[in-house]
Amino acid sequence: MAKFYHVLNYGCQMNESDAEHYAGQLKELDYTYTGDVRQADVVVVNTCCIRESAELKILGKIGELKHVKAQHPGQIICVTGCMAQKDGEALLKKYPQIDLLLGTSYVNSFKDVIRDYLEGHRKGVYTSLEVQSSEFEGQRVRESGFSAWVPIMYGCNNFCTYCIVPYVRGRERSRSIANILEEVRAAVAEGYTEITLLGQNVDSYGKDFLRNHEEEKLTSVTAAAGLISDEALRKEPFAALLRAVDQVPGVERIHFMSSHPRDMTEEVIKAVAEGTHLCEHFHVALQSGSDRILKAMNRGYTGERFLELIQMIRKYVPKASITTDIIVGFPGETEEDFAATCKLVEEAKFDSAFTFIYSKRSGTPAARMDDQVPEDVKHARLEALMQVQNNRSLCINRRLEGETLEVMAEGPTEKDPDTWSGRTRTGKLVLWPQQEAAEIRPGQLVQIKIESGQTWLLKGRRVR
C-alpha cells in the first residue's frame, strides 16, 4: 500500500534546504508526497525559534495536528529543526501527539531514525549537537524546478547577543569543496540553473578547515581541478569558492547569503564584480545604526565601518542591490540610538530591508539585559523605520523605469494566471502579462522592460 508524507516548513532558507533533505530521505524510504496532511503517514514539522512570534505559530500548528492524528491512527509526527533542538523533551511532554523529535544535527540521519521507529514504535528525542556530519549525502526533493539551495556551511560562531541560532545550530562546520561542487554539478545535471549558496555567515566558509589543519577539504584538487588555485582557496576560501562555482558549466545565476559586515572582504566583492554568473546582490545585515547598540549586540563593527563596506560594494559593483536586516527595540535602545539607525538606513540606500521587533530569547545574553524596551515603543519604531525604508525602496525602483532587465521567470501569479512573476539578477520581484503559456517555462531567462517601479516590486512587459 502506498505510504505518504507531508512536510510543514518554517523559518529561514537553511530550514527550507533541510526540509528538502527530510523529504528526500522519506522518498528513499518509498513514501510519496501528499499535499493533504490528513492523508500523510509521516508528518514533518520543521521548526524555527528565531522570534517568539514564529514559535507561537508553530505551537498552534502542532496543537492542530493532535486532531489530525486522532483521525489517522498510526500517523507519525516528527518535529525537527531549531525549536526541537531548543526545547527537546519538554516539547514532547507538552504535546504527546509528537512521536519523534530531532534536533538540527540529525538532518543526515533522519532515515535511520525513521527506520528505528518503524521497528520499535518507541518515541524518541534526538538532540545531541555532537552528531555533526557536514557532508551532504543522499537525495533531496527540491521545492523549485529551477532554483537550488546549496548549504556551504552549518552553524554559527558569532553569538550576537540577541540571537538563538548559535545555541540551536552549533558551531560552524563547512562542507568540503568537493562535496559542494558535486551537489552543484548534480543540480545542474537535473536542470537547475540558479544556485543559492547558504550559510549563517558565508564569509567564514572554510576557516574551520584552516584552523583544524584540514586543508585538504579545501584543496582536494581532484574536485576543484582547473577551477581555482589551491593558494587562492587557502587565502580566502569563500571568495575562491564563489569563483569555482561560477565556472561550473550550465550554472546561470549564483546567489549567496548571509554575509556578515564584519567579515565580508574586498576579495569577495571583487569575485562578484569579475564573475559571470555571480549575481549583483548583497544581503548584509546592519541590525542597528548605533555604535553603542552594535557593541551591546556583539556585532564587531561600527556604523562608519558598515558604510565603508557599502561604498566598497558600490565601487566595484555599481549596479548591485543591497538588502539588510534590522532589529528595533534591542534592550537599552534610546530614541537617540534609533535615530542613528534611521540615519544610517538613509545613508546606506538599501534596496529593501527586513525589519524586526526585538524578541527576547531565553538563554541569550540580551534576554538578561536591563532596560527592555516597552512593546508599544518597539512597534512605533518599527513603523517609523519601515516608512523610511519604503520611501527609499520606491525611489530606487522608480529609477529602473524604462530599463530592460534580465528576469528569471518563476511562474504565473496565484491571483492571475495571465500574469507571470520572476526575479532580476539583483533579486527584485517583477510582474508582467504573459498570455502565451507555450512561450515560457519556469527558470527561463526573459527580457522585461520596466514600466512601473513600486515599493515591493517592478511591473513591465516582455521585449524580444
| Residue bearing cell 534546504 | 17
| Candidate segments 59-67, 165-173, 222-230, 433-441, binder of ligand F3S by CB under 6 A | 165-173
Q: Least distance in Å: CB of 150 to ligand F3S? A: 16
| Candidate segments 6-14, 117-125, 209-217, 333-341, binder of ligand F3S by CB under 6 A | 6-14
Mark residues 11-50: x for contact with ligand F3S by CB under 6 A, - for none: xx-xx--------------------------------xxx
> How many residues bind ligand SAH, per CB under 6 A?
16
Among 160, 317, 353, 385, binds ligand SF4 (CB under 6 A): 160
Among 174, 258, 321, 389, binds ligand SAH (CB under 6 A): 258
Among 22, 106, 301, 358, binds ligand SAH (CB under 6 A): 358
Among 327, 344, 345, 448, binds ligand SAH (CB under 6 A): 327
290 binds ligand SF4 (CB under 6 A): no
6 binds ligand F3S (CB under 6 A): no
Nearer to ligand F3S, 43 or 48 (CB): 48
200 binds ligand SAH (CB under 6 A): yes
Among 68, 163, 240, 294, binds ligand SF4 (CB under 6 A): 163
Nearer to ligand SAH, 174 or 200 (CB): 200
Among 22, 25, 41, 51, binds ligand SAH (CB under 6 A): 51
Nearer to ligand F3S, 15 or 179 (CB): 15
Which residues bind to ligand SF4, rule: CB under 6 A? 156, 158-160, 163, 165-166, 200-201, 260
**Interface residues toward ligand F3S, by CB under 6 A:** 11-12, 14-15, 48-50, 81-82, 164-165, 168-169
